[in-house]
């Protein structure tokens, strides 16, 4: 309680001393937007030329999903400090929220004249191009973002999407794999995997395990052996964690090997053995095996694919 | 701290001392009993003073002032959130709306909030003001009562935070004419996967952009169900529908 009082007093002193640049981020980070509007709104009334206060009040309104209110403050901030790239950038976001895509783009372009390396402006300018199907322009922006911020998930994902739009399939596949290498979980990973699979590349696959859709790296084995490689083992750790959490979950392990039924059987068993080793909590009855001496057939997006060697996981219907 | 900051700080502290000791408005012109009830209950003093001063300067009749203040007193005594009423009154006076129309709007709002409180079924003191505001404001913006009744009946046993998010989501979708059956199917997926994070309350924006791009509400709902079922974000829903999204909070933005 004492700390809270000290914090409130410190904020009060900073606000009263006109230090919006210091207290402004606090309300954003704490998601106390209404409180921020009240405090910095008062500050702005006292100092109508304080661009920083206007900017933060605009940001709070935007975060509250009130872009019209936010825009008026952000525009005031820009008027007071026209060289501030962040101020201009956020007017673009407000325009997007108001579905005014032309003004949005203009704001990002203006931002980039002030700061060519502004990551978010490059990213959102690219997004605008993607939405309009301007793939080549989008790609330029995303390449710039990735140069500035190597692991930016939105840039990596949409870069691959732009390459798809441009019909550059080889680079697109590499793009999806790069995204999946850094971000192998979640909804975007699933969509990236779908896109990858539609090109006949099944390095990653989406599996329905119980109630969940999960993206996993496909099972592969060390060359000339039936020993799982490191990436495959990592995928099996994910499945094991799900089996540990959900005691009712049971999975068929189904191996395919075109022209070699015996090897398919060995590989199915190899996968199960790895999953059971060191996991006494998992009963082998929850992992029934199947094997086929044929290629796996996959229907997807109106296309038909075959994989000569694969391992599938199918939820056992109780 | 620089000289300017010190001066402002001193002025602010001095103002606090002065304001703290400032006497209440001296000459109430609206019924003294009503004003007393308003003040005792906790209606914002600035609102009471605004009505009083309007009566004092002749821009409002005394009876009009009482008609404006009465719904606020009733809202306060029913333990309803007061800010929406105070804001509505201030807005009406600022726009020079005839006082009787403002009073009518305030009374309608009062009815809606009372309905909202009854719907939540909690004792007045326990009703979450945020929930009441979402319900009350949704109703005043045209959300059919049966949509909210359906929502509370279906999801009343959910945890409070996702319950609030879902309610706001449903309210905004309904205001945009999104079929409640579709909304309900999306909410089912979100609650089942425990994935209704706060950002989903503004799913409406995705709907508006998607409609602008010619996508049907059915298609949008299917995409949302899929994303929520996978525990995805609002941005993921945009991506699944084939367009991009922006983060209005700046939490996920680099720079």
Same domain, B191 and B241: yes
Report the DSSP beta bridge partners of residue A315.
Answer: A251
Helices and strands: H and E segment counts in chain A: 14, 7
Predicted ipTM of the assembly? 0.83
**How many domains does one find in chain B?**
2
Q: Residue B243 gets which letter from DSSP? A: S
Assess contact for B158 and B188: CB atoms under 8 A. no
Domain membership flag for residue B128: no
Same domain, B72 and B40: yes
- Whole-prediction pTM: 0.73
Domain A1-100 carries which CATH code? 1.25.40.10
| B202 neighbourhood in chain A, CB within 8 Å | 65
Same domain, B110 and B156: no
Task: Sheet containing A289-292: give its strands across.
Answer: A289-292, A251-257, A309-315
DSSP A192-207: HHHHHHHTT--SEEEE
Judged by a CB distance cut-off of 8 A, whether residue A212 touches chain B is yes
Judged by a CB distance cut-off of 8 A, whether residue A13 touches chain B is yes
Same domain, B69 and B11: yes
Same domain, B147 and B67: no
Domain boundaries in chain A? 1-100, 204-318
Same domain, B114 and B148: no
Domain membership flag for residue B133: no
CA distance B167 to B134: 7
B-interface mutation test, from A43, A52, A65, A123, most B Cβ less than 10 A away: A65
Q: Which of A16, A131, A158 faces B9 most closely, judged by CB atoms?
A: A16
The verdict on a CB contact (< 8 Å) between A186 and B232 is: yes
Same domain, B49 and B154: no
Question: Would you write out chain B's pLDDT as a tens digit for each of its 255 residues?
Answer: 444 444 544 444 444 334 433 333 434 466 888 888 999 998 999 999 989 888 888 888 889 999 999 999 999 999 999 999 999 999 998 888 999 999 999 999 999 999 999 998 865 446 788 899 999 999 999 999 999 999 999 999 999 999 999 999 999 999 999 999 999 999 999 999 999 998 898 898 889 888 988 899 999 999 999 999 888 888 889 888 988 989 898 876 655
Range of B90's domain? 1-122
Please determine whether the domains at A1-100 and A204-318 fall in the same fold group of CATH.
Answer: no
Same domain, B161 and B76: no
Same domain, B53 and B158: no
Secondary element (H or E) of residue B52 = helix B45-56
Judged by a CB distance cut-off of 8 A, whether residue A206 touches chain B is no
Domain membership flag for residue B170: yes
Same domain, B112 and B203: no
Domain membership flag for residue B72: yes
Inter-chain Cβ pairs, chain A and chain B, closer than 8 A: 85
Judged by a CB distance cut-off of 8 A, whether residue A98 touches chain B is no
Same domain, B109 and B162: no
Nearest CA of chain B to the CA of A120: how many Å?
A: 6
Same domain, B100 and B157: no
Judged by a CB distance cut-off of 8 A, whether residue B19 touches chain A is no
- Domain A204-318 in this protein, CATH class: alpha beta
Domain membership flag for residue B127: no
If 0-12 CB within 10 Å is exposed, 13-18 middle and 19+ buried, where does residue B138 land?
A: buried
């Amino acid at each position: 309680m004492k700390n809270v009082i000290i914090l409130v007093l410190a904020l009060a002193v900073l606000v009263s001393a006109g230090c919006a640049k210091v207290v402004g981020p606090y309300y954003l980070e704490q998601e106390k937007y209404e409180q921020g509007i009240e405090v910095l709104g008062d500050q702005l009334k006292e100092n109508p030329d304080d661009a920083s206060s206007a900017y933060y009040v605009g940001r709070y309104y935007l975060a509250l999903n009130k872009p019209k209110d936010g825009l008026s403050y952000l525009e005031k901030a820009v008027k007071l400090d026209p060289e501030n790239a962040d101020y201009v950038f956020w007017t673009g976001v407000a325009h997007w929220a108001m579905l005014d895509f032309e003004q949005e783009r203009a704001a990002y372009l203006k931002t980039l004249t002030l700061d060519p390396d502004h990551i978010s402006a490059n990213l959102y300018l690219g997004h605008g191009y993607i939405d309009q199907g301007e793939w080549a322009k989008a790609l330029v922006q995303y390449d710039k973002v990735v140069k500035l911020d190597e692991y930016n998930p939105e840039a990596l994902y949409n870069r691959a999407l732009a390459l798809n739009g441009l019909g550059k399939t080889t680079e697109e596949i590499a793009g999806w794999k790069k995204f999946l290498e850094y971000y192998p979980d979640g909804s975007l990973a699933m969509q990236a995997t779908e896109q990858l699979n539609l090109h006949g590349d099944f390095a990653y696959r989406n599996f329905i395990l119980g109630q969940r859709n999960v993206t996993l790296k496909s099972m592969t084995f060390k060359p000339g052996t039936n020993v799982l490689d490191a990436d495959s083992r990592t995928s099996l750790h994910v499945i094991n964690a799900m089996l540990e959490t959900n005691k009712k979950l049971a999975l068929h392990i189904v191996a395919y090997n075109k022209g070699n039924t015996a090897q398919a059987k060995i590989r199915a068993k190899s996968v199960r053995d790895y999953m059971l080793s060191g996991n006494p909590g998992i009963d082998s009855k929850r992992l029934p095996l199947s094997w086929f001496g044929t290629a796996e057939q996959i229907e997807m997006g109106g296309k038909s694919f075959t994989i000569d060697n694969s391992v599938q996981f199918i939820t056992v219907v109780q | 701290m620089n000289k300017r900051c010190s001066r402002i700080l001193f002025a602010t502290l001095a103002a606090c001392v002065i304001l703290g000791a400032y006497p209440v408005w001296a000459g109430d012109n609206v019924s003294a009993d009503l004003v007393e009830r308003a003040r005792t209950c906790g209606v914002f003093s600035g609102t009471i003073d605004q009505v009083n001063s309007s009566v004092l300067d002749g821009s409002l009749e005394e009876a009009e002032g009482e008609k404006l203040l009465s719904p606020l007193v009733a809202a306060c005594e029913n333990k309803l959130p007061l800010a929406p009423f105070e804001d509505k009154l201030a807005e009406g006076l600022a726009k020079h709306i005839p006082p009787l129309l403002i009073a009518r709007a305030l009374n309608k709002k009062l009815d809606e909030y009372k309905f909202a409180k009854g719907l939540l079924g909690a004792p007045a003191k326990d009703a979450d003001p945020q929930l009441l505001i979402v319900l009350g404001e949704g109703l005043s913006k045209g959300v059919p009562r049966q949509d909210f009744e359906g929502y509370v009946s279906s999801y009343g046993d959910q945890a409070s935070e996702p319950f609030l998010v879902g309610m706001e989501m449903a309210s905004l979708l309904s205001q945009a004419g999104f079929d409640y059956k579709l909304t309900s199917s999306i909410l089912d997926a979100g609650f089942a996967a425990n994935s209704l994070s706060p950002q989903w309350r503004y799913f409406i924006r995705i709907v508006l952009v998607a409609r602008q791009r010619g996508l049907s509400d059915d298609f949008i709902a299917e995409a949302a169900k899929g994303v929520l079922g996978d525990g995805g974000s609002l941005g993921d829903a945009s991506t699944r529908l084939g367009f991009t999204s922006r983060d209005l909070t700046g939490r996920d933005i680099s720079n």
